Chain A
Amino acid sequence: MGRIVLKGVRKAFGDVEVIPPLDLEIEDGEFVVFVGPSGCGKSTLLRLIAGLEDVSSGDIEIDERNVSTVSPAKRGLAMVFQSYALYPHMSVRKNIAFPLRMSKMDKAEQDKRIAHAASILNLTDYLERRPGQLSGGQRQRVAIGRAIVREPAAFLFDEPLSNLDAALRHGMRVEIGELHKDLATTMIYVTHDQIEAMTMADKIVVLRAGYIEQVGSPLELYHKPRNLFVAGFIGSPTMNLFEGATAAEHGAHTIGVRPEHLVPSKTEGLWKGRVGLSEHLGSDTFLHIHDTGLTETITVRAGGDIDLHHNDTVYLTPEADKIHRFDAQGLRIA
């Protein structure tokens, strides 16, 4: 079981309040991603749940048990760190065994769990090596292995993929996702990368300056961003935003249209502009359009074989039902 509830959790370092009082419920088995720009308090929030930082006030409950003052060791959680935090002087086997040794589990059961974790994570051949002899991806798997064997109530991941290169990052993303489906254990995952958040999460928590901006499924956030911050943060390339007369036509202070919801045409459309650069990815083409008189650059995501190039004239038309409207405070107008 791993239902985690935060009630009025607040954290201040000295006079600086990094997390204002905050409520959050995480259901058992859920994959929750905390996402936000650096310094938004997402890692602090994770460390509060882990018990590596003390809450300044408020309560943290795991499975109906108040753990606010319980030591990290006794919360039944496992954590995977950004730097992997492997013990350099221990072999892979000993690294994975360490939490079991600390809980004084009997040797046979330890070996069984280690063998199981190693086979899931493809580490069987590396068990006798030292962390220093492993690649980044393998180290990452050892760190995950060390977490799995404890059979924790929930896994905590602190930006686990940020030290890996792009190709490995994608591979590990898939592996962690599959692991979650197999284990069905609660996972809390911190990242600044909205693509990781979108692809892995059941529920995303968008944070800014310690405040929760929005909580929802990836598609909810994509289709109904609660405010301009979430609208700008979720989605890649980022949403085009328009103010002024264009927005006023829609009865809003600001309107937003995602690049994929703009239809380009060589002959006719609502807005006229000039192609600055077209990036042909094969499956898609990203057009960067200037001189529309609306905003400096409009990004459009078009089909892979569209025939538009530098300095071509282009007309754009937003899909009518895909326009997001925001008021002067930046809040979504329903």
Chain B
Amino acid sequence: MATAHSKSAARIMIAPAVFVLLVWMLIPLLMTLYFSFADYRPLRGTFDAWIGFDNYVRFLTSSSFMSALITTLWMVAGILSITIIGGVLLALLLDQPMYGQGFVRILVIAPFFVMPTVSALVWKNMFFNVDNGLFSYLFKGLGFQPYDFLSQSPLLSIIVIVAWQWLPFATLILLTAVQSLDSEQLEAAEMDGAPALSRFRFIILPHLSRAITVVILIQTIFLLSIFAEIFVTTNGAFGTRTLTYLVYQRVLESQNVGLGSAGGIIAVILANVIAIFLMRIVGKNLDN
């Protein structure tokens, strides 16, 4: 019963949440926007409130921006391909009849709950380390030279670490989607003479497409702000400096706030482009 009274009560109940989020979003963002047009280097005591689009021009034309952008794209694309392909296969595997399904599920999900600094350090020291890492023992055991992952393939190493953390997420969501597939559809396809591969191609994959899209979008948003994994492994060196990390370095390490803020605004714009697609999907889902 939506009477006028309950409507106004509802507004009062929603107000605090809206208010804090509005303040949270607007004030810092407007400050960043303001700084992005200023020459602001606190360590040198420089503050020039308006230098136009200089920061944007400098940020966008610097070689570090292009390389950071490319690094970011490679990193996100690499992690996404591993988690999506691996996630679909694992989801299909976990959906098969087996003993101890619940337990396997628990094993697969576990990495998602490991805090980023822990997983980065564990991988860095106990697996990738050239002297004492497990991979080195494995390589030596197979008769190869030990490989220094983090200095020779730093980007790949970070991709592996983060993919390990996010594979459970993709698997879990895709498994939920697989399980919602009506088994009669598969039986109908079998009656129609479709072999297993065609059933996957024409029935299962289209059924999963929405879940895959959701996984891609949500992961992209989180992956664009990967920080801790880089912070404790390479600290942005060896071509692992992503856009997020670049902005962090500009703002906090070299304290060029104006330049960094311009980079921050650019990151916000890029994230919003992806966010719009995600919102469309989520929004559609609200209606039914």
Touch test A–B (CB under 8 Å): yes
Question: What is the interface of chain A, defined by CB distance below 8 A to chain B?
Answer: 52-54
Could you tell me the distance in whole angstroms from the C-beta of B281 to the nearest C-beta in chain A?
29
Cβ-based interface call for B1 (8 A): yes
- Using a Cβ–Cβ cut-off of 8 Å, how many residues does chain B contribute to the interface with A? 2
Cβ-based interface call for B3 (8 A): yes
On chain B, the residues within 8 Å of A52 by CB distance are 1
Tell me if B's interface is mostly helix, strand, loop or mixed: loop
On chain B, the residues within 8 Å of A53 by CB distance are 1
Question: What is the interface of chain B, defined by CB distance below 8 A to chain A?
Answer: 1, 3
- Number of A-B residue pairs having CB atoms within 8 Å of each other in the complex: 4
On chain A, the residues within 8 Å of B3 by CB distance are 54
A54 to B1 CA separation, bound complex (whole angstroms): 8
Chain B residue at minimum C-beta to C-beta distance from A53: B1
On chain A, the residues within 8 Å of B1 by CB distance are 52-54
On chain B, the residues within 8 Å of A54 by CB distance are 1, 3
- Which 4 pairs, one residue from A and one from B, show the smallest C-beta to C-beta distance? A52-B1, A53-B1, A54-B3, A54-B1
4 contacts between A and B (CB under 8 A): A52-B1, A53-B1, A54-B1, A54-B3
Could you tell me the distance in whole angstroms from the C-beta of A159 to the nearest C-beta in chain B?
20
Chain A residue at minimum C-beta to C-beta distance from B3: A54
A280 to B240 CA separation, bound complex (whole angstroms): 79
A52 to B3 CA separation, bound complex (whole angstroms): 11
Chain A residue at minimum C-beta to C-beta distance from B1: A52
Could you tell me the distance in whole angstroms from the C-beta of B102 to the nearest C-beta in chain A?
22
A53 to B3 CA separation, bound complex (whole angstroms): 9
Could you tell me the distance in whole angstroms from the C-beta of B64 to the nearest C-beta in chain A?
57
A52 to B2 CA separation, bound complex (whole angstroms): 10
Could you tell me the distance in whole angstroms from the C-beta of B126 to the nearest C-beta in chain A?
48
Chain B residue at minimum C-beta to C-beta distance from A47: B1
A307 to B1 CA separation, bound complex (whole angstroms): 59
Could you tell me the distance in whole angstroms from the C-beta of A16 to the nearest C-beta in chain B?
15
Could you tell me the distance in whole angstroms from the C-beta of B113 to the nearest C-beta in chain A?
30
A54 to B5 CA separation, bound complex (whole angstroms): 13
A54 to B4 CA separation, bound complex (whole angstroms): 12
Could you tell me the distance in whole angstroms from the C-beta of A75 to the nearest C-beta in chain B?
14
Could you tell me the distance in whole angstroms from the C-beta of B235 to the nearest C-beta in chain A?
53
Chain B residue at minimum C-beta to C-beta distance from A72: B1
Could you tell me the distance in whole angstroms from the C-beta of B91 to the nearest C-beta in chain A?
29
Could you tell me the distance in whole angstroms from the C-beta of A46 to the nearest C-beta in chain B?
14
Could you tell me the distance in whole angstroms from the C-beta of A190 to the nearest C-beta in chain B?
18
A215 to B234 CA separation, bound complex (whole angstroms): 83
